[in-house]
């Protein structure tokens, strides 16, 4: 039987977010402001009615309407898109297909904890390229390529990056993908936080040769409850294998969720406008928090995405600090969930109101240490 390590991040989040009552100020989440079904259906000039949806199966690759909406979002070909049950299923399918004896994948550290755990569950070895705070967590092609060997089946790049918020420009992604192509290794670009940028906006990596893109509705589009993700892959043979795997894994998506997802993507400008408004207001408050911390906290200001990864400058473990704040109704994610205990992941886009109160409590707790 495969042994999966405890998912420390999800254990931490679910302990507080699903409590009764739930946490008052959630600054640990990596999603955006919340939407109801009624909110989503009401978007646009022609509100969506869903009560006539037939609750049958959907095509394993996703409905044509949904794939066309995803294609418009990424400016790519709808035939290159396969819908999945969240980006998590997309990752699991790719790891499954790449799981040859002795194979490895290359992934970022810090990074989304499921990369390593799920890859190893499929029998893949993992090799990490390190994002260093003294280098502003920049994702560098040379550091990535240094971890690639003859057994590498896949390289993962996450941009905007969780948890640090760094961004690799498209021109650098193109160069990295080309270098990997010479070694016969595909590049997976995880774009779940695209297109939220605080510096120069970046186009999607979809369409770059030797790149597979994965994304979903959960993060930048703020709709995790729709459990809708996708892969974008120009390789027709690999797409056929992915569709077969999806048929084995989950058969298909839900027609009801696919209709909601299609409508949400067609109205993505409104969803993203709300996200950007919240993000811009809230990141300014975090600027003030770090500047006023008396040197106790430092950070690399995110270039994109919904999270930051500040750290205690004296190197202390952040868990007790996070526990203290959770008892006061403010949730941060301790850095040990990412293998970096002096850090904290701070999500700044779900909390549409009340961030000033939460920041005040964080500032007060800092003065007590």
Note the pLDDT of residue 206: 98
Q: Which residues contact 67 (CB under 8 A, 6 or more apart)?
A: 61, 78, 79, 81, 83, 230
Provide CATH 3.40.640.10 ranges for the chain.
53-267
Note the pLDDT of residue 21: 86
pTM across the whole model: 0.96
- The DSSP string of 122-191 is TT-EEEEEE--GGGTT---HHHHHTT--TTEEEEEEESSPTTT-----HHHHHHHHHHHHHTT--EEEE-
Answer CATH for 8-37+269-367 from 3.40.50.2020, 3.90.1150.10, 3.30.1360.170, 3.40.50.2300:
3.90.1150.10
* Integer Cα distance of 111 and 288 in angstroms: 26
Q: Provide the H-helix boundaries in the chain.
A: 8-17, 37-42, 64-74, 86-98, 113-121, 141-145, 170-182, 236-249, 255-266, 268-291, 319-327, 355-367
* Integer Cα distance of 306 and 26 in angstroms: 13
What is the phi/psi pair of residue 17, to 5°? -70, -25
Note the pLDDT of residue 61: 98
Quick one: how far is CA 242 from the chain centroid?
Answer: 21
Note the pLDDT of residue 293: 97
Note the pLDDT of residue 1: 76
What is the phi/psi pair of residue 358, to 5°? -65, -45
Residue-by-residue pLDDT tens, the chain, 369 positions: 788 899 999 999 999 988 888 899 999 999 999 999 999 999 999 999 999 999 999 999 999 999 999 999 999 999 999 999 999 999 999 999 999 999 999 999 999 999 999 999 999 999 999 999 999 999 999 999 999 999 999 999 999 999 999 999 999 999 999 999 999 999 999 999 999 999 999 999 999 999 999 999 999 999 999 999 999 999 999 999 999 999 999 999 999 999 999 999 999 999 999 999 999 999 999 999 999 999 999 999 999 999 999 999 999 999 999 999 999 999 999 999 999 999 999 999 999 999 999 999 999 999 988
* Integer Cα distance of 144 and 229 in angstroms: 26
Q: 227 — alpha (psi -120 to 50), left (phi > 0) or beta? A: left
Provide CATH 3.90.1150.10 ranges for the chain.
8-37+269-367
* Integer Cα distance of 196 and 304 in angstroms: 5
Q: Are 41 and 47 in contact (CB under 8 A)?
A: yes
Quick one: how far is CA 192 from the chain centroid?
Answer: 4
Note the pLDDT of residue 369: 86
Whether domain 53-267 has CATH 3.40.640.10: the reply is yes
In this structure, the strands spanning 81-84 and 333-334 are unpaired
* Integer Cα distance of 75 and 206 in angstroms: 8
Burial 47-86 (b: 16+ CB within 10 A, else e): ebeeeeeeeeebbbbbbebbbbbbbebbebebebbbbbbb
Sign of CA dihedral 325, 329, 330, 335: positive
In this structure, the strands spanning 307-308 and 344-347 are antiparallel
Neighbours of 195 (CB within 10 A): 20
The residues pairing with 155 across neighbouring beta strands, listed in sequence order, are 106, 187
Q: Are 219 and 197 in contact (CB under 8 A)?
A: no
Q: Which residues contact 338 (CB under 8 A, 6 or more apart)?
A: 9, 110, 111, 113, 163, 309, 345
CA-based Rg of the chain, rounded to a whole angstrom? 20
Note the pLDDT of residue 19: 87
């Amino acid at each position: 039987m495969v042994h999966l390590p405890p998912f420390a991040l999800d254990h931490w989040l679910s302990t507080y977010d699903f409590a009764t009552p739930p946490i008052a100020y959630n600054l640990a989440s990596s999603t955006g402001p919340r939407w109801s079904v009624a909110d989503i259906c009401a978007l646009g000039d022609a509100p969506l009615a869903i009560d006539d949806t037939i609750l049958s199966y959907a095509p394993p690759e996703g409905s044509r309407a949904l794939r066309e909406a995803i294609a418009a979002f990424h400016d790519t070909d709808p035939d290159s898109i396969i819908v999945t049950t969240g980006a998590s299923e997309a990752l699991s399918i790719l790891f499954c297909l790449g799981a040859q004896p002795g194979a490895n994948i290359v992934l970022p550290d810090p990074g989304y904890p499921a990369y390593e755990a799920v890859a190893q569950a499929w029998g893949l070895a993992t090799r990490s390229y390190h994002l260093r705070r003294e280098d502003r967590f920049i994702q560098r092609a040379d550091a990535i390529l240094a971890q690639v060997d003859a057994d590498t089946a896949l390289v993962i790049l996450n941009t905007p990056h969780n948890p640090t918020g760094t961004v690799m420009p498209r021109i650098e992604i193109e160069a990295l993908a080309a270098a990997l192509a010479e070694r016969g290794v595909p590049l997976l670009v995880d774009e779940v936080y695209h297109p939220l940028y605080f510096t120069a906006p970046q186009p999607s990596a979809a369409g770059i040769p030797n790149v597979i893109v994965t994304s979903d509705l959960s993060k930048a589009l703020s709709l995790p409850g729709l459990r809708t993700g996708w892969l974008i892959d120009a390789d027709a043979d690999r797409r056929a294998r992915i569709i077969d795997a999806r048929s084995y894994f989950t058969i298909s998506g839900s027609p009801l969720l696919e209709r909601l997802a299609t409508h949400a993507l067609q109205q993505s400008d409104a969803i993203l406008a709300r996200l950007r408004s919240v993000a811009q207001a809230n990141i300014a408050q975090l600027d003030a928090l770090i500047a006023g911390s008396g040197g106790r906290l430092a950070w690399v200001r995110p270039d994109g995405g919904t999270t930051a990864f500040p750290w205690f400058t004296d190197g202390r473990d952040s868990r007790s600090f996070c526990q203290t704040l959770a008892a006061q109704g403010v949730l941060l994610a301790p850095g040990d969930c990412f293998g970096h205990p002096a850090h904290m992941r701070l999500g700044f886009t779900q909390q549409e109101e009340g961030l000033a109160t939460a920041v005040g409590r964080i500032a007060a707790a800092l003065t007590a240490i």
